């Protein structure tokens, strides 16, 4: 063999060309380039004449198109930095308004001045080019500093200007710290907006916790927002580095690769289509809560899938804050204590489809009970329950007050540790964890304090077959509380039953696992399950032993699946 030819083969074998191995562009569907060419208009920034605002729009479009307002990273005021993303969006039929801002504002209100400058550029573009820009369908996107600015900028557009009434989206990429945005604005964010927050596993600049806090705090339905982390991978001599500058693909020193095609372009396209048209297939990709379609990042030339993204509401942040140039140490939300509404304790946690109470501060503006049913929002307060498998549900509400909320722990909540978050329209977020078990039995008491006289009825079956109902408690005006009514079990021709009311026991494993003692005497359990007439209310029917006659006040002890309920009392003649 020719020696030089052999050396050439060896070099090719050992040093494959990286560019030949990289996953290529998407050829069709979301993430693929559209058919429009790009036109651009420029004008001096209203608040900063040193730079121009750029308006990119589809050439030849015969009507205004949905508009993406873009806030760049710090000192990235040249739109060429993001030209790959911008050109892609315009090719798909969207306009992009790129608004620069000052690196040094010359103002003590540094961040407010910058946000004002970005916003002024957006507003002036809308005033100048109504023939290009449809402000009824809008998106707000940003990277780094601009990503952190997106919530405040979107509020100005959606709330203050009334834009986006027919569709609104937010796409935050590796956001830096955020400013000019209050907890009350987080709580009261326009509910029709769709949100995607994206971070990069090798980002060395912006602490992922900033992005996670924005995502967790913004009060949008769980199904209308998602959190994504793009992951790095090296294969076939090529590297996909999910770094801070990932959205800069095609601009500056960054190449366009699978991270852009699948992680940015494809998700952005799907998010926009869902926000502006309501397409359900688009939602499955953009806001799929970790769906296979959402995580998909393409295929290497040898057929091996590119490393999937992490996606969904419960993507965990594991890197130390000290591994970032700009660390973040988020403050914890106010705490809230969750207990059974019957016992006002939770030694065994709470159970699905049971009655619960949350105690804290600033939970509602003033006390208000539900006038009908159990709404998911009452007096501006909602309760979110995110369970052990990251499913989030809104809890039906019965009563709200500044320091207490009574709610139904949603059916279907998985066992394990759950996070209960109370959100008040007044601008407060309170959160804590609680253990969820299949059963967590507790009994109601007459004085609504979880102890003392049972909230119970007595059913008497007489010899002639007739039934008579009696109360086991009465209100004593002098004592200003409920006291026991003695139960008569002396008539041997009658059968007497005690009907207790509680919660948290309907999902018992079987009736045989429910035991009861009255005054230490075993009582037959005839029924233990849902009461049927009221949400979350359970009922236990006991046959009263005759040997209790003359015993006076005694304890009633109930055990369900080995878990002991709070002890209540009744009195016998």
Token pair, residue 288, equals 């799929």
Q: Helices 145-155 & 110-128, crossing angle to 10 degrees?
A: 60
Tell the burial category of 493 from Cβ atoms under 10 Å away from its Cβ (0-12, 13-18, 19+).
exposed
Q: Which pLDDT value is given to residue 9?
A: 36
Tell the burial category of 244 from Cβ atoms under 10 Å away from its Cβ (0-12, 13-18, 19+).
buried
Find, among 470, 457, 505, 485, the residue nearest to 342 by Cα: 505
Query: What is the rounded distance in angstroms from the CA atom of residue 360 to the CA atom of residue 337?
Result: 7
Q: Find the farthest-apart pair of alpha carbons in the chain and give their distance in angstroms, rounded.
A: 116
Q: From start to end of 273-369, where are the E strands?
A: 310-311, 337-340, 355-359, 368-369
Strands ordered across the beta sheet of 48-58: 38-45, 48-58, 95-98, 65-71, 133-143, 168-173, 194-200, 225-230, 310-311
Q: Which pLDDT value is given to residue 21?
A: 65
What is the number of helices (H) and of strands (E) in the chain? 11, 32
Cα-Cα end-to-end distance for the chain: 112
Averaged in consecutive runs of 10 residues, what is the pLDDT profile of the chain (573 residues)?
39 39 88 98 95 97 97 95 97 98 78 96 98 98 98 98 98 97 96 98 98 97 97 92 90 80 98 98 97 97 96 94 96 91 92 98 96 95 96 97 98 97 94 97 97 97 94 95 95 95 98 97 98 97 94 97 97 94
- For the chain, which domains are there? 36-323 (3.40.50.1820), 337-436 (2.60.40.10), 442-572 (no CATH)
What pTM, to 2 d.p., does this model score? 0.88
Q: Which pLDDT value is given to residue 7?
A: 36
Token pair, residue 402, equals 């500044």
Residue with tokens 């040093």, as numbered in its chain: 15
Residue with tokens 């601008």, as numbered in its chain: 427
Token pair, residue 75, equals 């000192």
Give the DSSP H/E element, type plus range, for residue 504.
none
Query: What is the rounded distance in angstroms from the CA atom of residue 23 to the CA atom of residue 297?
Result: 9
Query: What is the rounded distance in angstroms from the CA atom of residue 293 to the CA atom of residue 331?
Result: 34
Residue 223: beta bridge partners?
none
Give the DSSP H/E element, type plus range, for residue 265.
none
Query: What is the rounded distance in angstroms from the CA atom of residue 509 to the CA atom of residue 439?
Result: 9
């Amino acid at each position: 063999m020719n020696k030089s030819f052999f050396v050439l083969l060896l070099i090719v074998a050992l040093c494959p060309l990286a560019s030949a191995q990289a996953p290529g562009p998407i050829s069709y569907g979301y993430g693929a380039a559209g058919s429009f060419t790009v036109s651009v208009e420029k004008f001096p920034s209203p608040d900063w004449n040193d730079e121009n605002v750029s308006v990119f729009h589809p050439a030849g479009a015969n009507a205004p198109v949905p508009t993406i307002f873009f806030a760049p990273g710090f000192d990235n005021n040249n739109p060429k930095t993001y030209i790959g993303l911008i050109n892609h969006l315009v090719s798909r039929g969207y306009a992009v308004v790129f608004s620069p801002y000052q690196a040094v504002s010359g103002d003590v209100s540094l961040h407010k001045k910058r946000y004002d400058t970005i916003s002024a550029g957006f507003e002036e573009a809308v005033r100048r080019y109504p023939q290009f820009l449809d402000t009824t369908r809008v998106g707000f996107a940003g990277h780094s500093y601009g990503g952190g600015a997106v919530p405040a900028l979107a509020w100005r557009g959606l709330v203050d200007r009334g834009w986006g009434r027919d569709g609104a989206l937010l796409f935050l990429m590796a956001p830096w710290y955020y400013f000019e945005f209050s907890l009350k604005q987080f709580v009261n964010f326009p509910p029709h907006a769709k949100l995607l927050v994206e971070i990069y596993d090798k980002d060395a600049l912006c602490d992922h916790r900033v992005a996670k806090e924005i995502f967790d705090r913004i009060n949008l339905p769980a199904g209308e927002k998602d959190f994504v982390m793009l992951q790095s991978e090296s294969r076939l001599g090529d590297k996909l580095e999910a770094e801070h500058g990932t959205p800069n693909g095609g601009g500056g020193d960054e190449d366009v690769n699978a991270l852009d095609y699948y992680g940015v372009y494809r998700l952005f396209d799907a998010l926009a289509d869902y926000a502006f048209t309501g397409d359900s297939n688009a939602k499955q990709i953009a806001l799929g809560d970790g769906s296979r379609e959402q995580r998909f990042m393409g295929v290497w030339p040898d057929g091996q899938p590119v490393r999937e993204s992490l996606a969904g509401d419960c993507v965990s942040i594991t890197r130390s804050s000290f591994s970032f140039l700009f660390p973040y140490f988020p403050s914890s939300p106010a705490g809230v204590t969750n207990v059974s509404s019957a016992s006002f304790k939770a030694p065994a946690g709470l159970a699905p489809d049971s009655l619960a109470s949350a105690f804290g501060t600033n939970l509602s503006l003033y006390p208000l009970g539900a006038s009908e049913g159990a709404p998911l929002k009452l007096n501006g307060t909602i309760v979110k329950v995110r369970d052990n498998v990251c499913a989030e549900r809104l809890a039906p509400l019965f009563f709200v007050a500044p320091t207490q909320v009574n709610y139904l722990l949603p059916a279907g909540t998985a066992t394990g540790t759950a996070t209960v978050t109370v959100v008040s329209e007044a601008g407060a977020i309170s959160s804590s964890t609680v253990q969820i078990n299949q059963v967590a039995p507790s009994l109601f008491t007459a004085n609504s304090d979880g102890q003392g006289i049972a909230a119970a009825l007595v059913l008497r079956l007489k010899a002639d077959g007739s039934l008579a109902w009696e109360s086991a408690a009465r209100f004593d005006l002098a004592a200003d509380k409920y006291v026991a009514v003695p139960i008569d079990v002396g008539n041997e021709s009658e059968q007497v039953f005690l009907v207790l009311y509680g919660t948290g026991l309907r999902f018992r494993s079987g009736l045989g696992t429910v035991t009861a003692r009255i005054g230490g005497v075993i009582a037959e359990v005839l029924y233990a399950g849902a009461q049927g007439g009221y949400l979350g209310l359970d009922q236990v029917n006991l046959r009263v032993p005759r040997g209790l006659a003359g015993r006076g006040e005694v304890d009633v002890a109930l055990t369900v699946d080995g878990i002991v309920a709070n002890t209540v009392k009744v009195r016998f003649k």
